[in-house]
């Protein structure tokens, strides 16, 4: 009964380092999303994949790239981390873009 699984749960990066956040879902969902959550800013969409083979920018895509590896997996890459990318990152999935969304437990990222 895994649902949406994110790795890692915590990460500290130095400015300029790169890393990839992994997300996998086992619900056979078509749509997957990456959000970031910041105090006072709420949840904001970074990128999404409406279906396997497609990806699109959300509200705050700058500094990020994504890959929809297959139907199950959707990764988020920070090529050159900046302190402004310190945040909690959530992956989510849904059957389609207007169905109930299921979230992972989050990745707490600190960039120093």
Partner 1 sequence: KQEVTQIPAALSVPEGENLVLNCSFTDSAIYNLQWFRQDPGKGLTSLLLIQSSQREQTSGRLNASLDKSSGRSTLYIAASQPGDSATYLCAVPSGSARQLTFGSGTQLTVLP
- Distance of alpha carbon 37 from alpha carbon 48, whole angstroms: 15
Q: Does 95 bind partner 1 (CB under 8 A)?
A: no
In the region spanning residues 43 to 82, those forming contacts with partner 1, defined by CB under 8 A, are 43, 45, 48, 50, 56, 58-59
Nearer Cβ to partner 1, position 53 or 98?
Answer: 98
Q: Beta partners for 33?
A: 48, 92
Long-range contacts of 65-73 (CB under 8 A, 24+ apart): 66/34, 68/32, 71/28, 71/29, 71/30, 72/24, 72/25, 72/26, 73/22, 73/23, 73/24
User: Least distance to partner 1 from the beta carbon of 2, Å?
Assistant: 13
Nearer Cβ to partner 1, position 19 or 101?
Answer: 101
**In this chain, which stretch among 18-26, 40-48, 65-73, 78-86 interacts with partner 1, using CB under 8 A?**
40-48
Pairing, β 42-49 against β 56-57? antiparallel
Nearer Cβ to partner 1, position 18 or 54?
Answer: 54
Q: Does 106 bind partner 1 (CB under 8 A)?
A: yes
């Amino acid at each position: 009964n895994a649902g949406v699984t994110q790795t890692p749960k915590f990460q500290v990066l130095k400015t300029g380092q790169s890393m990839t956040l992994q997300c996998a879902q086992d619900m056979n969902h078509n749509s997957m999303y990456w959000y970031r959550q910041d105090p006072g800013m709420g949840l904001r969409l970074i990128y999404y994949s409406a279906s396997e083979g497609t990806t699109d920018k959300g509200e705050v895509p700058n500094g990020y790239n994504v890959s929809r590896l297959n139907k199950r997996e959707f990764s988020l890459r920070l090529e050159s981390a900046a302190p402004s990318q310190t945040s909690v990152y959530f992956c989510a999935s849904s059957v389609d873009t207007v169905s109930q969304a299921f979230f992972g437990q989050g990745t707490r990222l600190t960039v120093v």
